[in-house]
Amino acid sequence: MSVQLPLVHITRPSTLTEKAPLLVMLHGYGSDENDLFSFANELSEELFIISIRAPYPLQPSGNAWYAINFDAEQNKWNDNEQAMLSMQVLIDCIDLACDQYPVDKTNVSLLGFSQGTILGMATALNHPTKIKNIIGLSGYVNHDILPENLESLDYSHLNFYCSHGTVDQVIPIDWARQTPVFLKSLNIAHTYSEFPVGHGVSPQNFYELRDWIVTKI
């Protein structure tokens, strides 16, 4: 079953023929839809999995959800306008997928890595009625792309699983450690774990997230 979505994607069907929980994979900066999809065969067979390619191609290869710019002093900043546009296209993809695939639109989970985590967490916080669970690997909360009315939105049904490597050389562990503090301030249910690795996912990390999502779908 092939469905046209606004972004290039690959799928793994569920063993369920209707109302399957949907898991949407969001890769990191410079990667593509095949990256996280390598997890698919190890995840619950009930999950309908869609792995999406980010909309902005990079040279010579790879893709991004938004640009990361550097100035002459090597200071870097995110293109938050692109991030907001990617967020809207992602929501459009999810809406279309829920209409066209045999999935449960009330049981949508996002699994992101690095930049995909940053975008996924922001998407859930901007559109809490669309998302149920967020698995955020090796990322952080970018407050510049969050809604201004955070305190007035209903996040009571959201569940976050966040993890980070203690020796991550790309996104400092201190940035990640602010995430559970932030989620607690909004009374959002969450699990936060650290592993003795760099910017990646250790086997122990994967087994933990795999077991976590089974309890949430």
Q: Which helix or strand (DSSP H or E) is residue 17 part of?
A: none
Q: Is the pLDDT of residue 74 over 60?
A: no
pLDDT-derived band at 75, boundaries 50, 70, 90? low
| 3 state SS for 21-36 | EEEEEECCCCECCHHH
Rounded to whole angstroms, the Cα distance separating 186 from 181 reads 9
- Single out the residue of 137, 138, 111, 114 nearest to residue 124, CA to CA: 111
| Tens-digit pLDDT profile for residues 167-196 | 999 999 999 999 999 999 999 999 999 999
User: Please, are residues 97 and 25 in contact by the beta-carbon 8 Å criterion?
Assistant: no
CATH 1.10.357.10 is right for the domain spanning 9-214: no
- Rounded Cα distance between 168 and 151, Å, is 31
Query: Of 105, 137, 125, 134, whose CA–CA distance to 185 is shortest?
Result: 125
Cα(214)–Cα(211) distance, integer angstroms: 5
pLDDT at 2: 62
Beta bridge mates, 52 = 9, 26
Q: Over range 127-143, report the average pLDDT.
A: 97
**Contact present, 49 and 11 (Cβ < 8 Å):** yes
Is residue 111 within 8 A of residue 132, CB to CB? The reply is no
Mean pLDDT for the chain overall: 95
pLDDT tens, position by position, 12-60: 999 999 999 999 999 999 999 999 999 999 999 999 999 999 999 999 9
